[in-house]
Structure 1
């Protein structure tokens, strides 16, 4: 033991370097692994909690049976069993909440003064905790009883109360005979209307087909008449969810409806469902798996680089001990005994260093303990193998040694090619086996190592040229150049480490930049805007449903533009596609176009802008001439007057709709009728006409005869169309048979076909090109379109059609009695990233927009900036790049230290022939400078080659939905790597120069100076 201790003290510096390297790699890997787990879990929990509406809920509904409590217990028990069967834990199940409510059937709603349609009753758990009382009292408060005996107190959403014209104190009757009487004792509004718990809360049927007033919230389920339903709403509970728990929950929720429906005692009369929480969890599980794969690549790169650095420094240690080993073998020491000493020494060293590194890593981020178990044997082998090899097979030059090294390098290159091929072939696969992952994950690290080895071989002509140049150089630089050129095999260690470090940093820099750009492009393509407000479905604009006021959005700090947008799913040429209607005039301001699409916002806006009608415009029109006629066997006296109602629809440049109504008496024949006038910036969208006569007429017609300015009668209404919604629009003549009323809509001139932009995938599926005429059928009416351009349509992944919203509305009103309101509000922000992460420096940003969204009854949608793949992968690669730089600098210093010690005799020889200490220092300092430069240049080549090869595959792992990947690079990452390694080279040169100077000036007699 004393001998081992003395032997270790003799090489204490190199052993300390090895221990530090092992601890560094272990700590980095353990911390990185722990951070990956923590970050993946945090992102999974955060993204699950952020899902609003149907994506964050699963709602199940069935008829109440004989034992409702047994039904409730059966659902909860079955859900737990399915989670366990899918591999989940009780902690995973705690991430879900199950809320039960009673829901009544739709019943006739009658008020004391008039019939008011239909309504339904329901119970609501913890309503006061998730809603705000607007007027009246909660049911649990004193004084919340009805004013009359037999009347049930109830709460009503304020939106439903406004639509039905009800207020606190009003009494309504439910049922055809009004058997159940309710009194509204309070109105409430959801605190978070987009919260998953409110999914389908305003409908008695989960299908949403029946529009009814409600829910009238009552305190007791026994109050609900008829055959009520039980409704369970499964939502995230807010409890932490580990990323590994998302997949079991997704599988359990996907299987739950079928399992419940198969249980007759639970769902005796069927089961209905809505919500996509299972799909959301499946997406999060897939994202977490992708994140683990990407970070696995980064950690394997760290392991490969760490093993490379350890093995090379261990080779330096073996070279430093070579003379000692030869002496001991010459004096009769058994090789096995020396090998046992090396194995024991390196084992103790590796164990202590791994323990220290694991402790540091776990202190930073718990969860990476498994890394220590893997790191110990790998580190032990990397350190012990060169030492054992140096004893059993002393390093000698010759063909055999050269052949072994060449074969080893060739095997590494072959393994790198195989691993890279496997990685490229597996990208896009839904799942990897353990063997596939073991082959694919080392690909980038092996590729970096293989490229660095190839470049080392390619440097041979460079060293030869340097040797020739040194012949003609002055003495001082010549010595440095000669040394590097003629000891290239010894210099291969630091060059290889430097090239691998720069290559690793280059891969990290290109991955981070490319993945970020791909994610941003995909978000722009999927979202379409910096932020969106998704509005709840509603009927067309009417007195009961006035147009939503989006003006307050413009006052939010940071908002630069807003636009009303509609989406319609339909059929075009036999292919299902989604139509996106955006105002052409606002499209350049609000649409976020991804980089690399080649699309120009102004060009898209110009492509979808409809051409103005050739004739029949409304500029200056103040009156129209209407001809009221009657015919057939049953007519009225010619002097009979009729009541005419004119409802004018106007739309402004922002898409806001306004209507104005007027009425007057008209007679049979031509009548000059004044029409309401648009305000500044508005245009006339349509005229709704209703003429009523005292008695039925066999044939009654109302025709548009002329359009005038008021001073003149005007000309014929060229281009005008008329519709009664029972047939496609035609001549501006409205007719009725055997009726006292003729009504319909007059439409101003409009283009026959709307110009449209088709997505490339849709154009390819339809084999369509610019100029082709197509028909889009959606929402129950046909829309004639003409292909104006083929380009990516942001906001609609897949088959997409982009048209001008104003033109689309003008076409839609010919087939629909109402005027469509917006489905979404698109918002442009001055600083989208800052707003999305919730920073609110000036009262704007995410909080303010979410308040506005709640005021509109909608949901604020934001780009998913914290996607698991990029959010976890980028920090992991950054961590690996930093560790690679440290390893390279330490390896460079270690190589220089060994070289300085081994070449002490050379210093004395040069001193003996008259070379000064300063001259020797300058010559020797040139060596690490040349080596550093060569390593950095080789590393840049390695980075370029490997990044171009593997970065697209790594990006597709992080962002699976991306269509194409453009390789980008973070120049500052590479610049930092070059600066750090350059500084390391300078420090090494200074250390070498100082040490050589001290050696040259040391004249004391000792063994090695003889």
Structure 2
């Protein structure tokens, strides 16, 4: 023990750095695990809490034995929810003449909720209804279970599972940095004691005794340092969220064990090597061969890890909830080590070439620095590898943060499609059909809001192709560049622009406040063909309801109810008056609709629009009706001579209602509605440009002509989706469907990102003022669609690991500086005798460290960039699925890490320069310089 104490005191500077290294590793590991626990717990509580807490509502009749009913529910909750903290509130509602209802409201106890409880909440919510229905003591005459607790818990469970799988990458990096740092600093300490060990072995000390002494020393140094690091981690975590002491304590314990094991193992290897050393071993050839083998082995593992990561698409095991593939998770960290070792391999020839060139120069300092650096690469391993890992970690942290932020924003932009998306459902249901009671939303009102650059109506929903669901978006093609915010919006809708489907339709005056129609027609039942008993006391004339379909310049259709004229058998003329409000400029009459009632007996119907007059401020303006009119619908139309006037004749024989429209414009609608389909949809349908695909949209089969493919469709999160022009779609549905789906949304583009919050508020107010049911209005922005940031735990852990790795690298550099300063004391005397000034010696020694630090920093930037390009897309895809954002580096972490590395290296180099200069000025006799 006295000998061990004297040996420790002789190297107290290095041992102090080893202790600091253990402190930093324990602090970094504890802070990383603590932040991971805190952020995931906070995320889980936020997902199920907030202004609209998740809940399940169980409703049934009160049983004859309420106590047994309550006990049955409680037992089912305890059994199904796996111990998750759930609060149950019970209420009763009175019922006249019948047993009252009992309502249990199940909400999670957020103060006690942890991420592991999400699985129990999700599974229990799914199974609760069936379980309670089978318990007669609980379910009385049926039971209902409603609420979103299970769905929200399942979504958050999947998000946190993905984050847990990805977070293993920075944790693996931290583990590797820690092991490399401990091993390399242990080697530096062992190298400084090599002469002592040789003397002790020569005097009879056994390797086992040396190992035992080293183990005691490692315990004395490592355990208190790890405890101190754990305390610092707990201090850093104070106020950072709901963390528990378990993870930091576990990190500290692992750090202490690793420190003792690594430091003891290094000494054991050294003692055995010294005891068995021969002449051939001193040549260094075996060491060089082992180093080459290490480089090849590490490179092979790194390559396999990166290939595994890219093949899986993320570190997560397919089908495993939050389970990471070990090889894929370790791939980026091992790749950084491999690139750091490759730098060392290249550093040898580079420094020798530098020494050769410096020898030709006039300055002695440059030659000494170059030659000493070339010959001292064994010590350069420590700072170079650690700096490569540290700066590479910072680059990975910045690349992950920047790419994940871009991916989340891109996914949100893709899901929303524009800056502000306003949904204004029609009366009754969100899928209301166009009609006088459910007109399309007025996009011009939103375009006039402060901060709005453009606005357009949108029809967004689901369709089916071959029985499979696809996302469907219909927008005015000309408005897409102005309102869509996804990449490529300026040209995405170009293939959708075609001929005007209502070319030649009658144009209405812009300031029309009403329309006057003159109808001539007759409804003539064929009583001779009917049995008198069937028509006795019956009104055999079917009703005829007239509607006007107006089309705005953006393709939006509006339906006006013209009423049901009383048409007799003599062909009387009828005048109908239709009020018009806020008619868009350039509107045209697209079609005249006829809704025909059932025909009790065969009936001849003849309806002709003879005149149309618009009421304006300047008086009545006649509308020219001389256009091409095509009859469509379920009522069979008779052939007309030229179709230049809006006239419809038919013989009704069906007892069911029917409909007909006289559509203005071309009679040839083409093979289908031009559509852009996603790459995934084209691959699923095996469709190429020019193919026609039948889509069932709003209950009607619509042929779509594929005119191109896109990666994604604005406003759709589905991989398989289609985009069409709203006007062209309406023109097609106008010919085939009795009812057209109402564009229930308005997409509003902002003049700048800063204007979005205020614009969203104004758009919500405008929509609620116009909506028949203001509570149904929803406004969505990109910030709303982004939702909870499931990648924040990964991002925080990456940043903590990068910060800890930089500190570890600087401590490694300091350890090398302390070792070389003490070990080269005799060299200072020789150079002083040769006339090298003290300041020149200090500057040369500082330059040596500077060269190593710069090489490690630059190599770390390069290595981090390479690994980021290969690994970060897969890491981001694990947290933000379905995205393919290019790698974008957030410069903050990288800049801070580089400045810290450069600044710390400068401080260490300056301290070494000062010590060496002081040694050169010291002329006293000392034993170590004999």
TM-score with structure 1 length normalisation?
A: 0.76
Shift of 1:436: 6.5
C-alpha separation in 1, matches of 2:752 and 2:73: 46
C-alpha separation in 2, matches of 1:282 and 1:405: 49
Does 2:330 match 1:442?
A: yes
**What's the secondary structure of 1:771's corresponding residue?**
coil
Q: Deviations over 1:783-830 (max 9, x none)?
A: 233223211213221221212234434544556666643444444456
Q: Deviations over 1:714-765 (max 9, x none)?
A: 5654134354689999985265569999986544337454322111111222
Contact 1:721/1:748 (<8 A) preserved: no
Does 2:418 match 1:529?
A: yes
Return 5+ residue gaps in structure 2 as ranges: 238-242, 510-514, 529-540, 614-619
Does 2:35 match 1:39?
A: no
Does 2:810 match 1:889?
A: yes
Paired residues for 1:326-475 under 5 Å: 326-365=198-237, 366-367=243-244, 368=247, 369-394=249-274, 396-426=282-312, 427=314, 429-432=317-320, 437-474=325-362, 475=364
C-alpha separation in 1, matches of 2:125 and 2:681: 34
Shift of 1:485: 1.3
Equivalent position of 1:202 in the other structure? none
Q: Deviations over 1:852-884 (max 9, x none)?
A: 999442344454535454221112111211222
Equivalent position of 2:365 in the other structure? 476
Match of 1:699 among 591, 603, 611: 603
Does 2:79 match 1:81?
A: yes
C-alpha separation in 1, matches of 2:324 and 2:699: 50
Shift of 1:100: 6.7
Contact 1:508/1:881 (<8 A) preserved: yes
Equivalent position of 2:534 in the other structure? none
Q: Deviations over 1:68-89 (max 9, x none)?
A: 77656534431321112xxx33
Paired residues for 1:682-721 under 5 Å: 682-684=587-589, 686-688=591-593, 699-704=603-608, 716-721=626-631
Out of 455-464 and 478-487, give the one that drifted further.
455-464
Equivalent position of 1:567 in the other structure? 460
Match of 1:222 among 96, 102, 113: 96
C-alpha separation in 2, matches of 1:725 and 1:801: 32
Does 2:914 match 1:999?
A: no
Equivalent position of 2:512 in the other structure? none
Q: Deviations over 1:667-714 (max 9, x none)?
A: 744848576467242444554557999x99852424336666788895
Equivalent position of 1:321 in the other structure? 193
Q: Deviations over 1:933-979 (max 9, x none)?
A: 221232233223322332233223222333x4533333444344333
Aligned length: 867
C-alpha separation in 1, matches of 2:139 and 2:636: 42
Shift of 1:498: 1.7
Equivalent position of 2:181 in the other structure? 309
Q: 1:644 to 1:846 in 2, by over 3 A?
A: closer
Does 2:692 match 1:782?
A: no
C-alpha separation in 1, matches of 2:656 and 2:151: 55
Q: Deviations over 1:871-899 (max 9, x none)?
A: 21112111211222222122222212211
Q: Deviations over 1:182-208 (max 9, x none)?
A: xxxxxxxxxxxxxxxxxxxxxxxxxxx
Shift of 1:908: 0.6
Equivalent position of 1:748 in the other structure? 664
Contact 1:734/1:743 (<8 A) preserved: no
Match of 2:483 among 580, 583, 590: 590
Shift of 1:305: 0.8
C-alpha separation in 2, matches of 1:573 and 1:433: 32
Shift of 1:543: 6.4
Shift of 1:404: 3.9
Contact 1:724/1:745 (<8 A) preserved: no
C-alpha separation in 2, matches of 1:740 and 1:950: 64
Q: Deviations over 1:327-373 (max 9, x none)?
A: 44444545433332221111111111110111111222243222122
Q: Deviations over 1:225-259 (max 9, x none)?
A: 7x998776656676563221111111111222332
Shift of 1:563: 4.0
Equivalent position of 1:281 in the other structure? 153
Equivalent position of 1:137 in the other structure? none
TM-score with structure 2 length normalisation?
A: 0.82
C-alpha separation in 2, matches of 1:757 and 1:843: 29
Equivalent position of 1:143 in the other structure? none
Q: Deviations over 1:446-499 (max 9, x none)?
A: 221122113312333213312321221222211111111122222222222222
Out of 412-421 and 741-750, give the one that drifted further.
741-750
C-alpha separation in 2, matches of 1:747 and 1:342: 95
Out of 302-311 and 314-323, give the one that drifted further.
314-323
Paired residues for 1:614-653 under 5 Å: 615-620=503-508, 626-631=519-524, 633-634=526-527, 647-650=547-550, 652=552
Out of 966-975 and 549-558, give the one that drifted further.
549-558
Q: Which has more helix, going by share of residues?
A: 2
Q: Which has the higher contact order (CA 8 A, sep 6+)?
A: 2
